[in-house]
Every structure is written in C-alpha cells, then in structure tokens.
Amino acid sequence: MSYTVGKLLNPAFQWSVPGFYSRWKCSNGEKCISKTNICDGNTDCHDVSDEKLEMCEKWNCLSGMRKCSDGVTCIRDSQICDGISGHCPGGTDEVNCAEWSCISGYTKCSDGLQCIAGNFCKLKYTISMMRKGK
C-alpha cells in the first residue's frame, strides 16, 4: 500500500490507516516496529533504540501490558504467572503468583501458581496424573 506524504500528514487520514498509531520508528529511521516490541527486552532496531534504558525507564507500557520489577521491561499481562519464567529479567514474572489474580479468560490452576488460558489447567492436571500412573 502506498500513501502520499500529504495524506499521511492529514490527521483524519492517519486514523483511517490500520496500525498507523501502533507503529514506532527506530531512531535511525531504518524501519518501523510494533509498539508492543518497545522495551520488551528484545532488540528489534539495529541501533537498539527500542531498548535504550533512558527511554524504557520513562516508557508507559501499552494497554494489556505492564512493567517488570526492573522498571524497564514491558510484558503482556498474560505472561505474568503463566508458568514460563524469563519474560522478565531474573524470572520475576513468576514471583508472588499465589497473590496474583488472573486476567479475564484465564484460570488459576489448582497449584495456585499459574494462570492458563481456558481450561488447560484441567488438561495439565490430567497429563500429570497419567504420568504418575493414576
């Protein structure tokens, strides 16, 4: 899809372009990345501008995301207490899970430590029992 500069500078047109405001340009201008990839702990820009400490400390995570305890890295709410350590530096996304309330559409497993989408806790429990021979 090609747009003229005049159209892109028109605010009414900008709102009509899907994803226009969900993109962010790397500092060196080489490319645009999804805003969900800013300050996520993974370098997407060759100049590392999407992960610069000074910017990430001030960056407000997007809706449905939150900062890790390092105050820098943003992760999706669904990645907190999902049983997979490492979304946050030092695995802090899997700490204090007993006190964490699962987000909508997720269920806390019987171990009280994981939030899993849908009814996968039951499947996880069934597989665990099968492995134990019960």
Q: Are residues 2 and 45 in the same domain?
A: yes
Grade residue 121 by pLDDT with cuts at 50, 70 and 90. low
Residue 17 and residue 3 in contact, taking contact as beta carbons nearer than 8 Å: yes
Q: Are residues 78 and 53 in the same domain?
A: no
Q: Note the pLDDT tens digit of each residue in 35-67.
A: 889 999 999 999 999 999 999 999 999 888 999
End-to-end CA, the chain? 57
Per-residue pLDDT, averaged over 80-85, amounts to 85
Q: Are residues 89 and 108 in the same domain?
A: yes
For tokens 């946050």, the residue is 88
Q: Are residues 122 and 71 in the same domain?
A: yes
Domain range for 104 is 66-134
Q: Tokens standing for 133?
A: 């021979």
